[in-house]
């Protein structure tokens, strides 16, 4: 057990690192972080930040040297840097999990070996393989880069031979996936501590726009059988991976009722930000408990909660009208401490509580709409 008062290292200092650091500090831990951005969001709450690239082995080792346990908030830490950190402190989750997750093709193959449900897919390491796979899927498919894609980046829709020919030039080696008739998108979060205890959060219902999460609500208002299956998948993956930490599993629900695994993320996840208000234990506190081998907290729902993501585009017309959004009962503002509001960049989120997940989502989205400076100006003059 890594007792409160010790030092936790975090590889990555983005918003997930920041929120994990806040949870850790509230439990009495010191926090050190590594990030290439000298103004990363975690800097405002960490005791020490090492500014270095994610492939810097010496910097990763230096971070770990001063820590009692090390974790991560982003998957794209280079494997040699992960091994360098793991040689000096317990790294949770470990390099073996990241080696699987960092390569989408390797991740798909691992899921297949463990009998976990997936949609039809094929690995394409050459343009001809990509075109052949797309043809086999009726030229209605997605090419997803094996390395580096997130928030919809590194993905191309294939709707004919011409787009298949161009896709490889855009994404390189890729997993080609047949387009599926989706009924819903959901995710499940599982935590496992080194001593073997496992807990699963109630699944979240997710809605994406331009392949970026727009809003999420927990608990997902879906049939009990679907929720139970999602939790079963989460528990199976955690045990098979010998997970130490938290892991989110993105899932597709098809119109015929099948539940398929889309992607694994061994870290806190955007779709579970609502757990800070919805659950007895937030995903961030659970992450700290898991990597420190403390007893895991209850995942019971206290009240339905939804979040609405705030992207940098919102700032293009001026400062958002935070007062208008915060005037809505049950709404809270969560900003990530990012100074540069770029289009598509996640700057923060609103959370809202209500009697049902649907009402919480409606409230969060209404409050988010009020943030627009243009809309607020129109309201003021009406």
Q: What is the pLDDT of residues 130-141, one digit of tens each?
A: 999 999 999 999
Confidence of residue 374 (pLDDT cuts 50, 70, 90): low
Structural element, H or E, at residue 10:
strand 7-11
CATH class of the structural domain 7-91: alpha beta
Summarised one tens digit per residue, pLDDT across range 169-226 is 899 999 999 999 999 999 999 999 999 999 999 999 999 998 899 999 999 999 999 9
**SS3 label, residue 72:** strand
- CATH 3.40.50.20 in the chain: give the residue spans: 7-91
- CATH 3.30.470.20 in the chain: give the residue spans: 182-381
Non-local (6+) Cβ contacts of 293 within 8 A are 1, 2, 193, 194, 195
Q: pLDDT at position 1, please?
A: 94
* Stretch 267-274: mean pLDDT: 98
Q: Is the pLDDT of residue 61 over 90?
A: yes
Fold of 182-381: D-amino Acid Aminotransferase; Chain A, domain 1 (3.30.470)
Q: pLDDT at position 154, please?
A: 84
Q: In angstroms, rounded to a whole number, what is the distance separating the alpha carbons of residues 282 and 273?
A: 8
95 cis-preceded (ω within 30 degrees of 0): no
Q: In angstroms, rounded to a whole number, what is the distance separating the alpha carbons of residues 21 and 306?
A: 22
> Phi/psi class of residue 151: alpha, beta or left (left: φ > 0; alpha: ψ in -120 to 50)?
left
What is the overall mean pLDDT for the chain? 95
Q: In angstroms, rounded to a whole number, what is the distance separating the alpha carbons of residues 49 and 65?
A: 13
CATH class of the structural domain 120-178: alpha beta
* Cα distances (angstroms) measured from residue 218 to each of 160, 172, 301, 336: 38, 36, 8, 21
> Phi/psi class of residue 229: alpha, beta or left (left: φ > 0; alpha: ψ in -120 to 50)?
alpha
* Cα distances (angstroms) measured from residue 288 to each of 15, 25, 71, 339: 15, 10, 9, 27
Angle at alpha carbon of residue 280, lines to 277 and 285, rounded to 5°: 85
Q: Which of 195, 166, 184, 181 minimizes the C-alpha distance to 92?
A: 195
* Stretch 37-61: mean pLDDT: 97
The half-sphere exposure of 256 on its side-chain side, counting CA atoms within 13 A, is: 5
Burial per residue of 223-233, b for 16 or more beta-carbon CB atoms within 10 angstroms, e otherwise: eeebbebbbeb
Q: pLDDT at position 381, please?
A: 40
For residues 188 and 138, the answer to whether their CB atoms sit within 8 Å is no
Q: Is the pLDDT of residue 129 over 70?
A: yes
- CATH 3.30.1490.20 in the chain: give the residue spans: 120-178
Q: In angstroms, rounded to a whole number, what is the distance separating the alpha carbons of residues 75 and 9?
A: 15
Confidence of residue 313 (pLDDT cuts 50, 70, 90): very high
For residues 190 and 199, the answer to whether their CB atoms sit within 8 Å is yes
Q: pLDDT at position 380, please?
A: 47
Q: Is the pLDDT of residue 268 over 50?
A: yes
Q: pLDDT at position 296, please?
A: 98
- Residues of the chain with pLDDT > 70, as a percent, come to 97
Structural element, H or E, at residue 199:
strand 198-200
Angle at alpha carbon of residue 186, lines to 210 and 148, rounded to 5°: 50
Q: Is the pLDDT of residue 382 over 50?
A: no
Reported pTM? 0.94
């Amino acid at each position: 057990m890594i007792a409160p008062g010790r030092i936790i290292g975090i590889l990555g200092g983005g918003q997930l690192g920041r929120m994990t650091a806040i949870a850790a500090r509230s439990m009495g831990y010191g926090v050190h972080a590594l990030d290439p951005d000298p103004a990363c969001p975690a800097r405002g709450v960490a005791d020490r930040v090492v500014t270095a690239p994610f492939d810097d082995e010496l910097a990763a080792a230096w971070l770990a040297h001063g820590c009692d346990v090390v974790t991560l908030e982003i998957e794209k830490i280079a494997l040699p840097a992960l091994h360098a950190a793991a040689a000096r402190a317990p790294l949770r989750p470990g390099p073996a999990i990241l080696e699987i997750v960092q390569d989408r093709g390797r991740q798909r193959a691992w899921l297949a070996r463990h009998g976990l449900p997936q949609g039809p897919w094929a690995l394409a390491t050459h343009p001809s393989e990509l075109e052949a796979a797309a043809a086999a899927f009726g030229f209605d498919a997605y090419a997803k880069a094996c390395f580096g894609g997130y928030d919809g980046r590194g993905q191309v829709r294939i709707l004919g031979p011409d787009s298949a020919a161009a896709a490889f030039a855009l994404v390189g080696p890729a997993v080609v996936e047949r387009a599926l008739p989706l009924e819903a998108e959901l995710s499940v979060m599982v935590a496992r501590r080194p001593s073997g205890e496992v807990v699963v959060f109630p699944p979240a219902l997710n809605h994406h726009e331009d392949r970026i999460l727009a809003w999420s609500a927990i608990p997902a208002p879906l049939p009990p059988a679907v929720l139970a299956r999602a939790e079963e998948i989460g528990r199976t993956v955690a045990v098979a991976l010998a997970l130490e930490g938290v892991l989110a599993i993105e899932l597709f629900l098809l119109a015929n009722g099948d539940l398929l695994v889309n992607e694994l993320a061994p870290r806190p996840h955007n779709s579970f930000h609502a757990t800070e208000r919805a659950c007895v234990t937030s995903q961030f506190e659970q992450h700290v408990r898991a990597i420190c081998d403390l007893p895991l907290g209850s995942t019971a729902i206290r009240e339905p909660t939804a979040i609405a993501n705030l992207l940098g585009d919102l700032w293009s017309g001026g400062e958002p009208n935070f007062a208008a959004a915060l005037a809505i009962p049950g709404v809270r503002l969560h900003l990530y401490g990012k100074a540069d509001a770029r289009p598509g960049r996640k700057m923060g989120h609103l959370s809202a509580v209500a009697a049902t997940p649907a009402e919480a989502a409606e409230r969060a989205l209404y409050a988010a709409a009020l943030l627009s400076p243009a809309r607020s100006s129109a309201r003021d003059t009406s």
